[in-house]
Amino acid sequence: MARPRLRARVEGYRRVWATVWDWNTASRRVLAKLGFTETGRTEVDPARGTTLFTARWLCGQAND
């Protein structure tokens, strides 16, 4: 089985997205270590908090 990043590239994806709650600092650190960056997009849920959207480019740069 191909690694997820390689598989995503083979399938034609240029980036992958992940969401995380703003209060979940441990998961935010994991995403950062994996190369995800926060996009600035958020969604607020009054009961659970704010969801942060992150992305990781697979082609090296946003304009590849």
Write out the two tokens for 47: 């009961």
Compute the distance between CA of residue 52 and CA of residue 42 in angstroms, rounded to an integer: 5
Taking only the tens place, the pLDDT of each residue in 15-62 is 899 999 999 999 999 999 999 999 999 999 999 999 999 999 987 655
Whether 28 and 20 have beta carbons less than 8 Å apart is answered as yes
Quote the pTM value: 0.75
Domain regions of the chain by residue span: 16-57
Q: Please indicate whether residue 52 or residue 3 has the higher confidence score (pLDDT).
A: 52
What pLDDT is stored for residue 3 in this prediction?
Answer: 61
Question: Residue 64 pLDDT > 50, yes or no?
Answer: no
